[in-house]
């Protein structure tokens, strides 16, 4: 039976139960509905881990690794989008033998099925680039992703958006959409040099409700106490996502997470959103307080309802 966390005002549901031969964790879960099935693609050391179910809230089964490239490792934050019968998987990884995760670069692989296998086609963006989310807006496709700014007043990782000229190529004219502005977004103090605190804003997921545009994102690091999900908002009829001006909610200077640790779970972050029958569902990772911290990764996929109204998001967890 899947585990449900209940507190004074909180309900959270684990999606994927332990299964023999399956990974213990599902970091950075990306949900897709295709051909009547639901799929979750998750971060994996040796490849992209994939799950399938006929029902959103139960019956999830492990499909295995739907993408694994020879000589590569650390497959982070996959996302999958379908276009004209082809499924495009965007993700980042690094060559085996390197321990420098700043060598991560976004790549794209394709398959004629959401169940794979996916085959590498092209490197879309140079290092350092992670956490892609590709969406169609109007007649064009756009890629949200995270990259580094070493010279900013709040140095660190931030979110940008660029237009795709085709499914394999970014235009190369990215614009920033969400930057670090809070102490709670500090990943590590004095990380690379004394006095420069390294911030992290990553894991963008874009969606639209009418003329309300939202970007959910993760701040800080999943291993830290202040790790959280936040969101930014823009309003307008504009389809060109590079022209929108997103602002953090409720403001650039107020720490007011959409999700953060509660009495039942911690490490809440990096989400995707599914819309179905007029309802929004937030799929995110977290770990139980009882999780064995000696394990390399104990994050698992969770789900809760998400409500959007006039620029405000609320997760009913």
pLDDT for res 263: 87
Task: List the chain residues with pLDDT less than 70.
Answer: 1-12, 291-296
CB-hemisphere CA count at 13 Å for 166?
A: 4
Tell me the two tokens of residue 14.
Answer: 């684990």
End-to-end CA distance of the chain: 19
pLDDT for res 294: 62
Angle at Cα 294 formed by Cα 20 and Cα 8, nearest 5°? 85
- Per the structure, the count of domains in the chain is 1
Backbone angles phi, psi at 296, to 5 degrees: -65, -30
DSSP character at residue 183: G
Q: Are 77 and 131 in contact (CB under 8 A)?
A: yes
Token look-up 């934050």 returns 77
Backbone angles phi, psi at 183, to 5 degrees: -65, -30
Query: CA-to-CA distance for 304 and 317, rounded, in angstroms?
Result: 6
Strand partners, 176: 160
Query: CA-to-CA distance for 50 and 33, rounded, in angstroms?
Result: 13
CATH number for the domain that contains residue 243: 2.115.10.20
| Helices of type H across 105-262 | none
pLDDT for res 18: 82
Q: Are 134 and 143 in contact (CB under 8 A)?
A: yes
Q: Are 77 and 92 in contact (CB under 8 A)?
A: yes
Residue 199 structural domain: 4-315
pTM: 0.95
Strand partners, 9: none
Query: CA-to-CA distance for 75 and 69, rounded, in angstroms?
Result: 10
pLDDT for res 24: 87
CA 157 to mean position of chain CA atoms: 14
Query: CA-to-CA distance for 17 and 213, rounded, in angstroms?
Result: 33
Q: Indicate the Cα dihedral angle 13, 16, 19, 21, nearest 10°.
A: -140
């Amino acid at each position: 039976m899947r585990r449900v966390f209940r507190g004074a005002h909180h309900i959270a549901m684990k999606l994927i139960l332990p299964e023999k031969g399956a990974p213990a964790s599902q970091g950075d879960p990306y949900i897709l509905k295709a051909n009547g099935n639901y799929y979750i693609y998750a971060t994996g050391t040796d490849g992209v881990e994939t799950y399938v179910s006929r029902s959103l809230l139960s019956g999830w089964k492990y499909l295995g690794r739907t993408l694994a490239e020879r000589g590569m490792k650390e497959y982070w934050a996959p996302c999958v989008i379908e276009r004209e019968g082809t499924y495009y998987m965007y993700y980042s990884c690094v060559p085996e033998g390197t321990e420098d995760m700043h060598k991560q670069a976004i790549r794209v692989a394709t398959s004629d099925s959401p169940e794979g296998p996916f085959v590498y086609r092209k490197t879309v963006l140079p290092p350092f680039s992670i956490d892609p989310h590709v969406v169609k807006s109007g007649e064009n496709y756009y890629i949200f992703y995270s990259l580094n700014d070493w010279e900013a007043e709040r140095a660190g990782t931030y979110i940008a958006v660029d237009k795709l000229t085709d499914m394999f190529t970014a235009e190369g004219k990215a614009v920033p959409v969400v930057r670090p502005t809070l102490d709670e977004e500090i990943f590590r103090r004095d990380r690379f040099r004394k006095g420069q605190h390294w911030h992290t804003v990553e894991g963008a997921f874009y969606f639209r409700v009418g003329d309300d545009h939202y970007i959910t994102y993760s701040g800080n690091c999943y291993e830290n106490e202040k790790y959280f999900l936040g969101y930014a908002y823009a309003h307008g009829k504009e389809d060109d996502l590079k022209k929108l001006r997103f602002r953090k909610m409720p403001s650039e200077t107020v720490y007011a997470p959409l999700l953060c640790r509660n009495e039942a779970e911690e490490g809440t972050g990096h989400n995707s959103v599914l819309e179905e029958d007029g309802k929004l569902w937030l799929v995110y990772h977290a770990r139980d307080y009882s999780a064995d911290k000696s394990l390399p990764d104990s994050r698992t996929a969770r789900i809760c309802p998400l409500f959007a109204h006039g620029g405000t998001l609320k997760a009913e967890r």
